[in-house]
Amino acid sequence: MRFLSDTWYVAWRELIKFFRAKVRVVVTMIQPLLWLGLMGNVMQGFAKNPYVQQMIGTQSYLAFMTPGIILMTVLFGGVFSGISVIWDRRIGYLEKMMAAPISRGAIPLGKMLAAAIQGGFQVLLIVLIALGLGVRFASGPAGIILIVLIAMVFSTILSGFSLSMAVRIKTQETLMALVNFLTMPLMFTSNALFPREAMPSWLSAIAKVNPVSHAVAPIRELVLHGWNWGAMYTGIFVILGLAVSMGLFAQWMFRRATAE
């Protein structure tokens, strides 16, 4: 119980700050809006080609890329949660938390939880935007809930990774550089924006194992085709497994780094 309470209050602090920064919340939504509005519409021209339709499995490129944009948003959100650790260390807050009788493992888990909730909130907004742009979600409202949940779990993977790195990396600049270095390739070697069928074979091979693709698969299924568990369970299983491992890894990194 105490562990859960500790985790929740670590997250509570991050969430207060997140929702207090209303400008930031709005600005983070502009990018996905641009992606959907501009790229989605430009690429729509290609989707008139029946061959392309066959590759992306739908007549609407917008619907095809919505899952990609959802994951891109939580990817960028989650990956920056390590910054808060570097900040906390600098202002002495990390030490303050560790001087208190809270479980050390609750610190990364709380921050992961916060990243997930922030991500879930942003995904809901993207879904609303997508609905406004005419995307139809084949799996209905229940499917939207599952989409949000998958995206939330996915964001904990990146947040866990970022937090684990932040334990070792002492400056914000280095962490940002590392994170930027990783996110773009992670995004573009996945099938988030382009179908694997359109990729050269080497890229397609990378895209197949890329965790982003694993998260895309069930979400795309829910958007385009509906409740087809056969096409979804591998992705969901991989994402859950990665999230749990990252959670354990981040806790281990925190305990190890603070046991001096």
Partner 1 sequence: MKRAIEVEDLVKIYKGGVRAVDGISFSIGEREIFGFLGPNGAGKSTTIKCVIGLLKPTAGTIRVLGVDIRHDPGVVKRSIGYAAQETAVDDRLTGWQNLYLQGRFYHLPRREIRRRGEEVLRLFGLWDRRKDAADTYSGGMLKRLDIACALIHRPKILFLDEPTLGLDVQTRQTIWDYIERLRGEHEMTIFLTTHYMEEADVLSDRVAIIDRGKIVALDRPGALKAGIGGDLITVRFSAGDGLEPLIRSLKGLPGVREIRGAQDGIHRIVVEQHGDRLIPEIVRLAQEHGVDIHSIRLKRPTLDDVYLHYTGRQIREAEGSREELIRARVMSRRIRR
Q: By CB under 8 A, name the binding residues for partner 1.
A: 2, 5-6, 9, 12-13, 16-17, 20-21, 89-93, 95-102, 170, 259-260
Write down the least CB distance from residue 77 to partner 1, Å.
Answer: 18
* Cβ atoms < 10 Å from Cβ of 54: 11
Consecutive H or E run containing 2? helix 2-20
Rounded CA gap, 129 and 110, in Å? Answer: 29
Write down the least CB distance from residue 160 to partner 1, Å.
Answer: 21
| Nearer Cβ to partner 1 (164/183) | 164
| Nearer Cβ to partner 1 (106/157) | 106
Rounded CA gap, 194 and 212, in Å? Answer: 12
| Nearer Cβ to partner 1 (102/219) | 102
Write down the least CB distance from residue 212 to partner 1, Å.
Answer: 31
| Nearer Cβ to partner 1 (142/257) | 257
Write down the least CB distance from residue 117 to partner 1, Å.
Answer: 17
Write down the least CB distance from residue 154 to partner 1, Å.
Answer: 27
| Nearer Cβ to partner 1 (154/254) | 254
Q: Which residues contact 158 (CB under 8 A, 6 or more apart)?
A: 74, 75, 78, 79, 81, 115
Torsions phi, psi for 57 (to 5 deg): 75, 15
Rounded CA gap, 119 and 29, in Å? Answer: 11
